[in-house]
Amino acid sequence: MMMSFGSSRARLLALSLGLSTLAVGVAHAEMPGLELDGDAAAGKKIANDRAKGNCVACHIMADAESPGAIGPALIAMQTRFPSKEELAVQIWDATAKNPEAVMPPFGKHEILTQKEFADVVEYIWTL
């Protein structure tokens, strides 16, 4: 009796561990393999457009008008992110790295179209 109780608990534990590993894998793989060769000039407009990316509401960026400072200043990005892809993941879904992130998941929630997303990533990568 004890044995079978113990092993079914162990199986349950194994199952729930497996499920949480799966969930993490899915969350991370969510960003589709996008072409990250956007238009930086278009991305700059979107990032500063209060009705679109509105990154300016929370981030200081070069030439931004009355930016907010809720998030870190977006400067020296290429020294802070190892690749454009890593930067893209952060913008696609900030909760992938930090479940408590207040930054909206721009890609995951389709706040930006895939073209707008690629343009913004291209622009931010130049900062």
DSSP per position, 83-96: SHHHHHHHHH-GGG
Environment class of residue 103 by beta-carbon count within 10 Å: exposed (0-12), middle (13-18) or buried (19+)? middle
- Alpha helices by DSSP H, listed for 30-57, are 40-48
State which residue, 31 or 74, has the beta carbon closest to ligand HEC: 74
Which of 17, 80, 83, 86 touches ligand HEC by CB under 6 A?
Answer: 80
In angstroms, the CA 87 to CA 73 distance is: 14
Interface region with ligand HEC, contact rule CB under 6 A, candidates 5-13, 15-23, 28-36, 102-110: 102-110
CB of 126 to ligand HEC, least distance (A): 12
Which of 89, 96, 118, 120 touches ligand HEC by CB under 6 A?
Answer: 120
Residues 13-72 that bind ligand HEC (CB under 6 A): 47, 53-55, 57-59, 70-72
State the distance between the two ends of the chain, measured CA to CA, in whole angstroms: 64
Angle ∠(34,118,80) on CA atoms, nearest 5: 100
Q: Do 94 and 101 form a contact (C-beta atoms < 8 A)?
A: yes
State which residue, 27 or 54, has the beta carbon closest to ligand HEC: 54
Q: Does 89 bind ligand HEC (CB under 6 A)?
A: no
Using CB under 6 A as the criterion, which residues of the chain lie in contact with ligand HEC when the complex forms? 47, 53-55, 57-59, 70-72, 74, 80, 87, 90-91, 94, 98, 101-104, 106, 120, 124
